[in-house]
A and B are shown apart, each in its own frame.
Chain A
């Protein structure tokens, strides 16, 4: 970290500072991974037996119309040329236009991604707020009834088909009890009421100070977010428990206890402090998983998110949309990974 003031003078042979080298390496590996991601998606798109031309022109089209569109899409060029063209566009941050709805893919993604992000963020918050204390408690009271309850809760969460639980949840909490809002992000009357700033309705409504919209949006998001939250809770609480157990059996904890430190301090000030980094990695990974968009949840709750966007695009061979969506999701995954790696390096002395 003390590699600062040696930039004066033109010494070309000066070795690159370590952090710069790491940065380059990291950027390089991001680039390679993204390139690979793009390439594979591109190939998949081309070998798929779904015909993008047919997807555009529809069932009734004459061969003449078909051929015109085929040419227009550049499908008559060699595969590699098509890929290079595409890369060139992506480098200019242009994901092309959706083959199906003729809108720029970047515009579509800007619309669907905030929806997923809002859902995923609330989901992970629920998962963390409930999952971490539950995991800690289960570890501290290992073998007690609370540990068993936590275990069952987590295992049930792992094992439940989300589409089934989602439909049932909708039926009970919306259909029968009417406690929450139905499918969709907000009620019909609130669509486009608040100006779009972040694309996340809860935040936009708060910025605008329109609490009616906020309440309505909240009543719509709470059920799907709780579902996703439950799934991350299952994972996070289990991981927390096993991290904590490892710490609690360490010698320094025994020492601290012998010294008469209060149990609260032992657990939270020592043991928990040491698992923070590992925990953040786990949370970052499950957050990344949620940000990919839970396709099934999105379908059931008519949630216009990125998961169902990519899926719909895929099934109608709208390759520009699939590629654009995959790049965004892949990039987020990679960034979150790097972020948790960095945390590791900063906070965990052993990793140096």
Chain B
């Protein structure tokens, strides 16, 4: 008890003893303020649950998501053994949703790894180096920004062939330019600050300055932006799935499930609605969390 108390006190100190201490302390205070935001915590809770469901899919799912039963197709909600009903080929919708959580997480994780990193790289280099490289990189960014997003993604998927990996790449391809713009803008303000000049005087090279000093400062706004964009990414992936260009059958990707189910929307509405609700719930969770994170990490936007 006293130990935790002291840990808490250590984390909440006004006079950090080391750089690490200061950082941990900042994170802890951020966490405290996030924790007081109920909506953000709800979002976080949903996401933690999603990870858990995805990890334990084989244990939780009542049925094999691929097993067909043409004799018991389009069973309604609440059917015994199939609480969310069955789809056109008689597969259990709940089990497919549970396995589909893995795909959703996979897409989200990959895009979150690719797009912001590319954007950060392009943006900071462009902003820090300036001159011709800046001009060229920003033109390229503009070109990608000016592209109709779904068209670019569609074209990319059509060129490389349908599939989750290609869908992820396509979405990343359309998602990075805003991050690059943002990172560049931040770099420009940081670059001219006194503290960077001071580091320069100490003899630090551009590589060191970018990686050690500029990146960390860009990260917090990037995280907020990425979290808020996640919903858009899930919806984009679902949109590609809806158009038949995302995950391939019989994969239980949620967007593809809506697409399959939309044929029955008038008489068997649940087939498309259940995955629709799943997508909605997860997107909402990301948005709630992102909104909360913004209040914590990016106070000037929230307060």
Q: Which residues of A contact B (CB under 8 A)?
A: 29, 32-34, 36-37, 40-41, 44-45, 47-50, 151, 155-156, 158-164, 167-168, 171, 175, 242, 245-246, 249, 292-293, 295-296, 307, 310-311, 314-315, 322, 325-326, 329-330, 333-334
Contacts and interface: CB of A to CB of B under 8 A. Distances in A.
Given A161-B276, A333-B145, 18 more contacts: A34-B146, A37-B146, A40-B143, A41-B155, A44-B156, A48-B159, A158-B228, A161-B235, A161-B255, A161-B279, A163-B239, A164-B276, A167-B265, A245-B303, A310-B148, A325-B151, A326-B147, A334-B146
B150 A311 contact: yes
B214 to A, nearest CB: 24
A167 B154 contact: no
9 contacts: A49-B161, A161-B280, A164-B258, A171-B269, A175-B266, A307-B150, A310-B151, A326-B147, A333-B146
Given A161-B276, A311-B151, A314-B154, A36 B300 contact: no
Contacts, number: 131
B64 interface: no
B151 A326 contact: yes
Interface stretch (B83-91, B200-208, B282-290): B282-290
Given A161-B280, A307-B150, A311-B150, A249 B145 contact: no
B148 A326 contact: yes
Given A163-B258, A310-B151, A315-B158, A155 B288 contact: yes
Please classify the interface of chain B as helix (H, G, I), strand (E, B), loop, or mixed, using the class held by over half of its residues.
helix
Interface size class of B (residues with CB under 8 A): 35 or more
Nearest to B150: A295
B291 interface: yes
A158 B291 CA distance: 12
Closest 6 CB pairs of A and B: A159-B283, A164-B276, A36-B143, A330-B146, A159-B284, A292-B148
B283 to A, nearest CB: 3
A246 B258 contact: no
B172 to A, nearest CB: 16
A58 B158 CA distance: 19
B180 interface: no
A311 B142 contact: no
Contact of B148 (A33, A36, A159, A329): A329
